[in-house]
Amino acid sequence: MDDALLDKLEILADAAKYDASCASSGAKRRTGGPDGIGSTTGAGICHAYTPDGRCVSLLKILLTNYCLFDCAYCINRRSSNVRRARFSVDEVVRLTLGFYKRNCIEGLFLSSGIIRSPDYTMEQLMLVARTLRRDHGFAGYIHLKTIPEASPWLIEQAGLWADRLSINLELASDRSLKEFAPEKDGTAIKAVMGQVGERILEAKEEKRRFSPAGQSTQMIVGADASTDLSVLETSDTLYRRYGLRRVYYSAFSPIPEASSALPAKPPPLQRENRLYQADWLLRYYGFTVEEIAAGGEGGMLDLGIDPKLAWALKNRERFPVDVNSADREMLLRVPGLGARAVDKIVEARRHTTLRLEDVARLSSGLKRARAFLIAADHHPGGLTDRADLRQRLVAPPKQLSLF
C-alpha cells in the first residue's frame, strides 16, 4: 500500500463515516473454503470501537466523494470544498482483502458519490462486489449502497453479489427531500425499495441468493423540521411495506463545509438514541407508533426518559403486573425488562414461583421494573401511582466526563 493510496483511504473513509449503518448481520453461514477467503457467521462481529462508541465492523468507504448531486446535508455535495479522491475498483478490492486477512473487518460497506451518471456509478459499485466474489472467492460480508437513480437492471445485478443492499431515504418527508436534495426523488427511492423488497422475497422462496441479509435505509434526524412521530410513521411504513431489515437514524451532525441551508445547531444526540429505542419497541415489543408517540409531547419523544418508561408513566392504570401470571405481551411492556429477560421469566416461572431476588438474577433492569411489578414477596403498593415516580427513576444527570 503506497502513500497515495493511504491518503485516498483517509479521505474516502472520512467521507463515508456519516452513514450510520455498519452492521454485518443477517447473512447466512458461508465459508470461502480452501480456494476462497472468509466466512459469515450470521451475527456479525465488531472488530473495534472508535471513541464515538461506534462499532467498526465493515470497511466503510466511498468509491469516490466527487458528486454531481447537491444534497444540502451532505459533506460530499458538489458545492462543498472538501478534498476529493477516487478509488479504482481494483484498489477497493485490494484494501478489502488486505484488511480482511488481518482480521480487521467482516467485509465491505461501499457507497459512492455520483460521478458521470447514476448508472455508471452503480455499475462501478457492482463491479467491486463482483470482482471480490467471482475473482477472489470472497465469502465475507458485502453491503452495497444502491443508487436509486440508476437503471433497475443494475440493481438486479448488485443483489446477486451483495449480502445487503441499502437505499438511504435520508429525510422522512418528500417535501424536505425536495428542499434539501433537489436531485433526489422520494417516489423513485420508494420504487427501488419496492423492487428490492420484492426480489428478496422471491429469491427466498425460490432458494436463490439475492441480497440475503435484506435491505436497510437511513434517515437523518434534525436537519429538517420532521417530528419524531413522522419519522417513526415513515419507518413503520418502510418495515411493513418493503420488508426492511433495519432503519438507521443518524442525528444530523455538524460537518465541515456545512451548507447555509441547514440549521446551525445539531439536534441532541439523545434524540437519535430515543428513536432507536422507539424503533425496537415497534419491532420487538408490540407497540404501535401512536402508543410510542403518546409517551411524549407534540409528536416528539421525551428526551429525559426512554420511550417505554414514558409510555408506562402515562398508562399507570395498567400496572403493577404480576411476574408470575402476566402474559408475555404485558411483561414486555414493563420498563426495565428486556425481551430476553421476559423469555427467561416465562420459562423459569414454570419451575418455581418467582420472588424479587429471582427476577434480579434474570434481568439487570430491576431497579426500574420494581415499581411496576408484583412478585411472590413484593408489591409496589402506592409506588406505582406516586407523583414523583419519574424523578425517583431517573438518575440525576451526571456531568459528562471525557476520560
Partner 1 sequence: MYRVDLKDGADLDGFRRALRGLVALGADPGEVVWSVGAAPSLFGDDAPLPADAPPVSLPRPVGALIESVVCHRDPERYALLHRLVWRVLRGERDMLDHHADPLVHRLALLDKAVRRDLHKMHAFLRFREVRDPDGAERYVAWFEPDHFIVEATAPFFVERFESLVWTILTPVGSLQWDRRSLTVGPAAVKPEGLDRDDRFAEGWQRYYESTFNPARVNPAAMRAEMPRKYWANLPEAAAIPGMIRSAPARVQAMIEAEAATPRRRNPDKAVAAMARQEPATLAELNRIILAADPLVPGATQAVPGEGPVGAAIAIVGEQPGDQEDLEGRPFVGPAGQLLTRALEEAGIERSAAYLTNAVKHFKFVARGKRRLHQSPTAGEVKHYRWWLMKELGFVRPRLVVTLGATAALALTGRSVSVLRERGPMGFGDWNGFVTVHPSYLLRLPAGETAEQAYRDFVADLRRAREMVGEPPDA
Give whichever of 1 and 300 is closer to partner 1, judged by the CB atom.
1
Q: Which stretch binds ligand SF4 (CB under 6 A): 70-78, 225-233, 290-298, 334-342?
A: 70-78
Binding status of residue 69 toward ligand SF4 by CB under 6 A: yes
C-alpha cell belonging to residue 299? 409528536
Stretch touching ligand SF4 by CB under 6 A, among 39-47, 68-76, 264-272, 337-345: 68-76
- The closest of 158, 193, 143, 125 to 23, measured between CA atoms, is 143
Whichever of 240 and 265 has its CB closer to partner 1, that residue is 265
Helix (H) or strand (E) holding 48: strand 48-49
Q: Which does residue 205 bind out of partner 1, ligand SF4, none, counting CB within 5 to 8 angstroms by kind?
A: partner 1
> CA nearest 109: which of 145, 150, 82?
145
Instruction: Give Cα 366 distance to the centre of its chain.
Output: 27
CB of 216 to partner 1, least distance (A): 18
**Residues of span 242-261 touching ligand SF4 by CB under 6 A:** none
State which of residues 10, 179, 290, 385 lies at the interface with partner 1 (CB under 8 A). 10
Using the minimum distance from each CB to ligand SF4, give the nearer residue, 210 or 248: 248
Looking at 77-165, list the stretches that DSSP marks H as alpha helix, in order from N- to C-terminal side: 89-101, 118-130, 136, 152-161
Cβ–Cβ under 8 Å, residues 225 and 26: no
- Chain residues 234-263 in contact with partner 1, contact rule CB under 8 A: 253-260
Angle between helices 228-242 and 269-284 (to 10 degrees): 40
User: Is residue 114 involved in binding ligand SF4 (CB under 6 A)?
Assistant: yes
Within residues 71-90, the interface with partner 1 by CB under 8 A covers: 78-81
Q: Which helix (H) or strand (E) holds 216?
A: strand 215-221
350 binds partner 1 (CB under 8 A): yes
Q: State the nearest-atom distance from the C-beta of 286 to partner 1, in Å.
A: 22
- Cα 327 to Cα 266, 330, 364, 381: the distances in Å are 42, 6, 20, 21
Residue among 111 and 211 whose Cβ is closer to ligand SF4 = 111
Of the candidate spans 13-21, 170-178, 365-373, 387-395, the one that interacts with partner 1 by CB under 8 A turns out to be 13-21
76 interacts with, out of partner 1, ligand SF4, none, CB within 5 to 8 A per kind: ligand SF4
Cα(221)–Cα(357) distance, rounded to whole angstroms? 41
Residue 349, C-beta contacts closer than 8 angstroms, at least 6 positions apart: 323, 324
Query: Residue 151 and residue 192: Cα distance in Å, rounded?
Result: 10
Taking residues 171 to 190 in sequence order and writing x for each that binds ligand SF4 by CB under 6 A, - otherwise, the string is ----------x---------
By CB under 6 A, name the binding residues for ligand SF4: 67, 69, 71, 74, 76-77, 113-114, 181
